Chains A and B, each alone.
Chain A
Amino acid sequence: MSSNGSPSQIAEGTEQAEDRQKAANAAPQLQDVLRHTCPSPAGPRVLSTFRNILDRDSCDLVWVTKEWRPQQVTLHARTRTTAKIRQDVISSPKMQHTIEQLSSQNEVPKEALWRELNDILIEMGHTQTMPVVRWFGYVLSKIMRKIYSGVFVNEESIARLRASIGNNPVIFMPSHRSYADFLLMSYVCFHYNIMLPVIAAGMDFVSMWGVGRLLRDSGAFFIRRSFGNDKLYWAAFSEYVQTLITAGENPIEFFVEGTRSRTAKSLCPKLGLLSVALEPYLTGQVSDIVVVPINISYDRTLEETLYSYELLGVPKPKESTSGLFKALNVLDEQYGRIHIDFTEPISVNKFFGDLRSPKLMRPLHLPHQITPDESTRIIWLANYVVRQQQKNAVISLFSLAAVVITHHVLTKPRNQLLNMHQLTRQVASLKSAAESFGALIDCRDNLEVSLQNALHIHKSLIVTSKDGQVQVKNVAAAQAPIDPAKMKGHSLQDKTLQVGVPMVMLQHYVNQTLHLFICPAIVSLSVQQSINQGSGMKDDVFARYLFLRTLLSHEFILHKAWETMDFEQSIQQLQKLGVLDESLHDSMKLSLGSNSHLHQILCQLLLPFLAGYSSACSTMLEVPAGKTVSLNEALKSTQARLEKLLLSAQLNHHYSLSLDLLTAAVNSLSSMGAVIKNKENGKVLYSPNSNRLRQVTQIVGDFLQLVAPICRKSQDEQARLFITQAKARL
């Protein structure tokens, strides 16, 4: 280990170390800004401020036909027609300039470009119309009443939002776990008389007959998923977004994660759309922009099974209307509650500390060039937004149960089934741990009843037998056979899928808690390893923590600037919980406390990640010197390697097979300099940087050793812990 250098040195190339230094230098100053901008709410969040908006006095028909007098977003807002917006984009200085440039560069007549632009804008544009919104709202009310037991909105956060609307353009940034997010946001805004958002959506919906039109009429505008070097499209898209910002008639809404998170963990924020949306502020066209991160927490995700298959590499069906109708069988199921919380609105001007300078200003027809300073802050803001979303989640009891159940399945011998009593006890202790990490847990009645209700909603995945045994159900059995040719990753064996699908589904809910536990888990594991190696000194722990944090930075929201803050907080929390020993007086030396059970659970949470990353390392190590592999090849062979490990009982967590996880692993290795990313003919290829990769592999392996379960079971043995779909029906 010592010969390999310290973990933190290996974690980063020199450049990255410099970046970190820079970020650290900027940190105190920005921390001040943040503290100033975003005072934490007066008291802890409580469930009592959440109100079920489906539970209203008026009937749905009266509700959807109410007088529509929304709160204005900005002082100067004027409602524009679709045609006027298009006109404004076309006549904007930037668009005119782009067309002139493209015309002379590519020797295309301007008229052709104007026509093309017009077509792009028609394809893109939203056509929000209240009658459609109302009608749609009516149908949604009916559907939601059927499948959800409530849509709970934090009314305190609504009041706070209202108070900050009125002078500046507003951007809503909800978390994105489900297609339902699109509709929910507008639904909530309608309910509270807040101007309906205009929503950036992916182009995939447009091809769905009727649905594209319906979403358009409800206020969605559509952006192609990739438009590479299409300058005209890029200009049209950015001008469209910016005219929405500068005119300030509607809030604009987009998902900073870029796409639905299949894993239920927050995705690393995408900066493109955010940068475009902030440009009017950076160039002094608006005085400020109010960014409102929003958390939408689902008890049960509509797409849970679908996601599970997708993560394992079974292709996602193309969005189609008939597919949608097929999906309507979801209407027969129960999906529990939804919680929505609008977090503290962020003033971009305050967050950025006003970097704007006329010196840097160019005429408005030229595109703005983002300065390094601006870029640092945009990254910071994006990460902050996601963190705010996480902090304001409402965690369902089922997520905690999922942690306990997974832990049980992985660690206990096959004949030892989990009973309801044990589950309740363990969930209770996990709940108090989660609460000490700042979580708001959806537990309205006494724990036992609430837990039973929560399990009931997930009865398709978890079954409680009459004698109180809790078992995972084999959901995969009921699915149609999968054509191996369509597999996105390695063609997994049927029996792997049978255990894998439910385990990945279960992990979907475990993941919902990970933003709470990730830093404490990393710290716990680092402490344990440091002690095992005879140190336990805080510096040594920090170095190990830093390695893991860097390794997992593509997996979790672990912005560099927060590394020290997170570390100190985690230590404090862990000491309070007895995971770390509090009594020792030497503040520079850490040791484990009495709560070894929680320590074990926390460390275990890292298992699927470390296992997946370790295999990814091994796969990359096998790439011969001078050879390269594509991402897809790397994923496939890593999955294959993992499947072997699973079959031979050297590994028993199927979530390691997740393509999202393995992609993050490759990206992470690439940013750590352990693999080298090359672009050849527009294709991205990877090759190992052997020395560094060997070091990383070694360190990851060392960590993995510590979390590998005490009790190893083969996949077959594990499968016996499950009851199959068929059995459940009996």
Chain B
Amino acid sequence: MDSELHGLNAGSDRECERLDYFDDVENNRKSSGSIPLKRQELLKWHGWGYKDTKVIVTQRGKLFITSNRYPLVKISQVSQKVREWIQQVWGIDLYEVENIPEPPENPEISNFPGPFLDSEFLDGLLTLQIVYSTDGEDRFFRSHGQAMSDIMNARQYQITRLPDLVVWPNSHEDVVKIVDLSNKCNIVIIPFGGGTNVTSAVTCNPNETRMIVSLDTSQMNQILWLDKRNLTVCVQSGITGQDLEEQLFREGFTTGHDPDSLEFSSVGGWVSTRASGMKKNRYGNIEDLVVHIRFVTAVGVLEKESRGPRISCGIDFNQIILGSEGTLGVITEVCLKVRHLPQLQVYASFVFPDFETGVKFTHDVAMKNIQPASLRLMDNMQFRMGLIMKEEQTFIGEIVDKLKLIALSAIANINEDEMSFAVAVFEGFKDEVAINKVKIEKLVVKYGGVSAGAKNGERGYLLTSTIGYMRDICLNLGMLSDSFETSVPWDRVLQLCQNVKSVVAEESKEKGLKHLSVCCRVTQVYDTGACVYFYFAFNAAGVVDALRVYEQIESRARDEAIACGGNISHHHGVGQKRRKWVPRQISPTAVGLYSAIKKTLDPNNVFAVQNIVLPAEITSSKL
């Protein structure tokens, strides 16, 4: 306890000193990023997103969001029907859940272990005049990502090892210096961007004997330049998607990269995890958008001497940066493609008789190569889960809704308990959008679907941004819930969905779970296959060691997804959560290759965050 306080005090002293310096720099900045140096001022410690934003359930199933950040879904009313259904599925009555216990606003400081500090490194940092902190809260905030297990562990202070120090470089040069210093002092660096990973990708190795530094790129948040003629933008890696898009918007541009975590995730994070954006059909995934990367490794900077649109010069080493997950170095600057803002953006939504016809429709969209900017298909259960967040209906509205349902079942032979729900975004010039829309609508009719309007489509997308908040209220209610994703060839999409659901149901039965839900959606439509997302939740009341039960079931589900022709991840990455599948997924030869790269680029293992491959496999590799 003593040492902890001592460490804390010591940290605070130094920190104040450094923060003065920070303010000086701040004056010279063009714009400040939306993520402050002290994340805790803006963000929650016990869950997803902004401190001011949470979902609150009040009497008789009224749900509302406490901030104005998500206006379209601010207030919703759980209908009687949904209430009964949820009661049946989850064993929770949403009309009777007042005063849900909630973690305190600030974490209990006394729960943080003190830092282990290397004086040579600290002296080095002082000389370099780079801002750092050893404050417990700062370190705690960077000790985990956003996976459900991370949050559960954070809430229970089960994280045994925190980074010992947080450092905020401002530039590529700062990073080079920090990495050099760390390499010299034998210090561990864990790069930290937006903190939205769901793979335990920043978790410290509890057995690490060296000092661990969390390198927070959040202050490297500048657009370095925008080249309107060559349609490229060069940014520092710590800029968040939201900041980048806002600034580009003002100039009439967009990258079009739109992951669900856009508000918080950083460009560096996208690159290092091979992220995917919602509108990849129009703009491509991150690997399609990247033009140039500066990558600081322990043995030097890796970058190309070319900004040309394409290069054939042997192996493309950008590909070892993409997906390196912080294990090989730090991404400092990224040059991305941009496009002019679309003339028009239109949402749409459709219902289909069931999930199978929905899948056939999306498949046909791919066959005909008429993908809108984005197209997603929810299965029935996911659709119904979405109804939890439904606007409150006026009396008239309710009647209209009922009539709509009757009409649906009578005319289109679609019933509420079977139907699937698709949402789409069209982007481009007016005529382009119009043509695309007509083609899609024709196809919808071919598969027995019906249009369900633009507003439902927009709500569908907006709900995605609130899923993190919903996850947290579920946790408060005693529901463990998380998502996992995969990608799979078209001919196996439907079977994979069915099989994973069967396996989850079967495992849950074996584990004696009574109240659970597993649902899925197709979120990306490729020519050759699709990305499928699963949401699994169960009521943990009375379940012993619920977190482990969750992980066992998820692990079985992932085994099944792989066995059915899927893979370990479409865009979340490996992190420390999914390492056990890697050798089988990419072949032992590839693991050997990775190990060789790792040993070459990082001989002292500065980047000792143990993502992607189990440490033992690196050591045993003969390459």
Contact = CB atoms under 8 A, between A and B. Distances in A.
B404 to A, nearest CB: 25
A44 interface: no
Contact of B565 (A76, A93, A361): A361
Contact of B509 (A74, A167, A288, A354): A167
B506 A288 contact: yes
Contact of B492 (A74, A166, A288, A364): A364
A75 B355 CA distance: 13
A168 B503 CA distance: 9
B562 A287 contact: no
B532 to A, nearest CB: 14
Contacts of A109: none
Interface in A258-294: 284-288
B619 interface: no
Nearest to A356: B563
A166 B506 CA distance: 8
Contacts of B492: 284-285, 364
Given A75-B505, A167-B502, A168-B502, A287 B564 contact: yes
B505 A167 contact: yes
A450 to B, nearest CB: 41
A12 B505 CA distance: 47
Nearest to B501: A75
B555 to A, nearest CB: 12
A363 interface: yes
A74 B495 CA distance: 13
Contacts of A287: 498-500, 502-503, 506, 560, 563-564
A354 B505 CA distance: 18
B527 interface: no
Given A285-B495, A287-B499, A364-B491, A167 B559 contact: no
Contacts of A354: 559, 563
A228 interface: no
A364 B564 CA distance: 11
Nearest to A280: B495
Contact of B564 (A74, A93, A284): A284
Contacts of A626: none
A286 B565 contact: no
Contacts of B567: 358
Q: Which of A166, A358, A361 has the most CB of B within 10 A?
A: A358
Contacts of A285: 492, 495, 499, 564
Contacts of A246: 495
A185 to B, nearest CB: 24
A329 interface: no
Contacts of A76: 498, 501-502
Contacts of B496: 284
A244 to B, nearest CB: 15
A74 B501 CA distance: 11
A312 B500 CA distance: 53
B515 to A, nearest CB: 16
B564 A288 contact: no
Interface in A137-184: 166-168
A357 interface: yes
B502 A74 contact: yes
Range of interface residues on A (Cβ < 8 Å): 20 to 34
Contacts, number: 64
Interface residues of B, number: 23
B563 A166 contact: no
Contacts of B559: 354
A38 to B, nearest CB: 15
A93 B584 CA distance: 28
B234 to A, nearest CB: 39
Interface in B489-521: 489, 491-492, 495-496, 498-503, 505-506, 509
Nearest to A287: B499
Interface in A350-383: 354, 356-358, 361, 363-364
Nearest to A168: B502
A273 B584 CA distance: 31
A183 B559 CA distance: 39
Given A167-B509, A363-B491, A75 B563 contact: no
A361 to B, nearest CB: 5
Contacts of A361: 565
Nearest to B499: A287
Contacts of A284: 492, 495-496, 499, 563-565
Interface string B561-574: 01111110000000
Contacts of B505: 75, 166-167
Nearest to A364: B491
A76 B563 CA distance: 19
A438 to B, nearest CB: 28
B562 A167 contact: no
Nearest to A76: B498
A168 B495 contact: no
Contacts of A356: 563-564
Contacts of B503: 167, 287-288
A246 B500 CA distance: 14
Contacts of A75: 498, 501-502, 505
A74 B497 CA distance: 13
Contacts of A168: 502, 506
B501 A357 contact: no
Contacts of B498: 74-76, 286-287
A286 B506 CA distance: 13
B479 to A, nearest CB: 21
A173 to B, nearest CB: 20
A286 B499 contact: yes
A354 B584 CA distance: 13
B500 to A, nearest CB: 7
A288 to B, nearest CB: 7
Interface string B192-233: 000000000000000000000000000000000000000000
Interface string A677-720: 00000000000000000000000000000000000000000000
Interface in A51-88: 74-76
A197 B167 CA distance: 66
Q: Which of B491, B564, B584 has the most CB of A within 10 A?
A: B564
Contacts of A363: 489, 491
A318 B103 CA distance: 79
A470 B500 CA distance: 62
B77 to A, nearest CB: 30
A315 B509 CA distance: 52
A9 to B, nearest CB: 40
Nearest to B495: A285
A288 B495 contact: no
Interface in A461-513: none
A358 B563 CA distance: 6
B491 A288 contact: no
Given A284-B492, A284-B495, A357 B563 contact: yes
Q: Which 9 A-B pairs have the closest CB atoms?
A: A287-B499, A284-B564, A356-B563, A167-B506, A167-B502, A287-B503, A364-B491, A287-B502, A76-B498
Interface of B: 489, 491-492, 495-496, 498-503, 505-506, 509, 559-560, 562-567, 584
5 contacts: A93-B491, A167-B505, A168-B502, A284-B496, A357-B584
Given A74-B498, A285-B495, A287-B560, 13 more contacts: A75-B498, A75-B502, A166-B505, A167-B503, A167-B509, A284-B565, A286-B495, A286-B498, A287-B498, A287-B506, A287-B563, A288-B503, A358-B567
